[in-house]
Amino acid sequence: MTLSQIQKFYKNQTVFITGSTGLLGKLVLRKLLVTCDPKKIYLLVRQHKGKSVEERLETLLESADLRRDKWEFKGKIFAIKGECGLPGLGISQDDRDTLVNETTCIIHIAATIKFNEHLRMAAYINVRAVQDLLNLAKEVPDLKAMVHVSTAYSNCNQKDLIKEQFYEPGMTATKLLKILESMDDETVTNITPELLGSWPNSYTFTKAVAENVVKTEAQNMPICIVRPAILIGAVQEPEPGWLDAIQGISAFLIGTYLGLIHCHLADTKPIHLIPSDYTANIILAAACYATEKSSPPPIYNYTGSEKNLLAKSKIYEYGKVTAKLYPSVHAVNACFLIFTKNKYYLKFLQFWLHLVPAYIVDLLCLCLRKKRRFVKMYQKVHRMCDELAYFNMNFWKYETTNCELLWKALTEKDRELFPFNMDNLEWKSFFEICTIYVRINLLKDPMHTLPQAKRKRKFIIFLYYCITFALVCVVWCLI
């Protein structure tokens, strides 16, 4: 079989990936294994929640995306014990020597994507880890390419067109880390708003600083930066407290699907959503074309197609249709969504549509001597919605020239194997596929429960209108 250009690039290469247990990293790993033929893949894996590195690697191989090919690929995948929050990535000297001697390609995806992460931890994971990884990469004698995955919102404080270029960060990495090392956590918390400046949160701020690290410390290296927008797609196995484990838009859409989220602060402008599997493809393609040492390194703003941007109203429209076609037995309320730009109206809706039912259900749980959890759950939902509000109330325009040139440079076979052009993406079909995947793999709700789920949906809608009518009558009587 004739190999494509990208397949030839990765054949017999040894790839080092950080962040492979996350949503995007898992897709990059699977794409490499299934489509390409690398010699070895080293994964940076940390001990987490009482699980050893070996146990987490086994969990990764048993996941929904790699289970079928586990035994075929197991001999190519090796775990490197480490953690991005630790100095030197927490890698032992022996493992470091192995990586230096064998690695030919590095893909850095790992990051803390919690918007409200403490600035110290965000800086260690998102900034210092980049420095440490670059220092390791400089020792690799046969480094062919390196990709640093940033975010399209690293420069969200820019009001004009965000170009595929470097921007000045709020401060240099050296200064930021020096400040953090000189202060305790409480002091850092108190001065964080001043340090962030025009950036809305610690995530976007530290990603901007990290980009500057690449600019200043990756001279004459075969490296590029990919800036993806909001990823949509579900590949992670849910953990206890799944709403905390699934980030951003995925949690928002799943929450709406289950009837947990009914109102949100947003304007009517389009939103930059990109499929997570498409993002994995452009990362692998960018590495293939980042082999030349250029200064400054090329940047790819991967924010979708201006010809095919998704309106926020369409999110609800498609979500409502798919929720009706494929409801879940785990749904707790009717699926609907109200967008508003008025924060006071939002608070009223959250109180009326979320907290009032939550207090009623928790009261019933108290009477039945069951665990009360709905009020706390909605408090988490509201915090998540507040964190997303900045991005839903603003709209950015992006230069995407490099992405377009990269797509044009691909051969026809690579375009089939590694698609990332979104000009003709059918959003309605895409949402339907995502809903089915979420239902089966995240919610563990097999398709044979669909008739039961549809009956439950009808009952929930009937009960919802009955309770709403009763509450309106009570309020009317009181006034």
Please, which residues have CB within 8 angstroms of residue 308's CB and are 6 or more apart in sequence? Answer: 422, 423, 424, 425, 427
What is the pLDDT at residue 278? 93
Name which residue leads in pLDDT, 319 or 81.
Answer: 81
Q: Return d(Cα 266, Cα 370) in angstroms, integer.
A: 36
Phi first, then psi, for residue 352 (nearest 5°) are -75, -40
Q: SS3 letters for 237-279?
A: CCCCCHHHHCCHHHHHHHHHHCCCCCEEECCCCEECEEEHHHH
Phi first, then psi, for residue 456 (nearest 5°) are -65, -40
65-98 pLDDT, tens digit each: 666 566 677 788 999 999 999 999 999 999 999 9
Residue 216 has pLDDT above 90, yes or no: yes
> What is the rounded average pLDDT of the residues 450-477?
86
DSSP code string of 34-60? HHS--SEEEEEE--BTTB-HHHHHHHH
Residue 242 has pLDDT above 60, yes or no: no
322-344 pLDDT, tens digit each: 888 899 998 888 888 888 889 89
13-72 pLDDT, tens digit each: 999 999 988 888 988 998 999 899 899 999 999 987 778 888 888 888 776 566 656 667
> What is the rounded average pLDDT of the residues 366-385?
87
Q: Return d(Cα 11, Cα 25) in angstroms, integer.
A: 19
> What is the rounded average pLDDT of the residues 109-133?
94
What is the pLDDT at residue 440? 83
Question: CA 355: distance to chain centroid?
Answer: 28
What is the pLDDT at residue 133? 97
Q: Return d(Cα 345, Cα 348) in angstroms, integer.
A: 5
> What is the rounded average pLDDT of the residues 92-109?
96
**Domains of the chain and any CATH numbers:** 5-235+271-308+392-436 (3.40.50.720), 312-391+444-478 (no CATH)
> What is the rounded average pLDDT of the residues 285-308?
88
Phi first, then psi, for residue 251 (nearest 5°) are -65, -40
Which of 296, 300, 287 is CA-nearest to residue 103? 287
152-194 pLDDT, tens digit each: 999 999 988 999 999 999 899 999 999 999 999 999 999 999 9
Residue 199 structure tokens: 């950036």
CB 406 within 8 A of CB 286: yes
Question: CA 34: distance to chain centroid?
Answer: 22
> What is the rounded average pLDDT of the residues 406-418?
95
What is the pLDDT at residue 237? 42
What is the pLDDT at residue 460? 86
Beta bridge partner(s), residue 106: 16, 146
Among 164-178, 247-261, 411-425, which stretch is predicted with the lowest mean pLDDT?
247-261
Residue 247 has pLDDT above 80, yes or no: no
Residue 243 has pLDDT above 60, yes or no: no
Residue 138 structure tokens: 């400089």
What is the pLDDT at residue 106? 97
What is the pLDDT at residue 239? 38
Beta bridge partner(s), residue 299: 225
Name which residue leads in pLDDT, 121 or 246.
Answer: 121
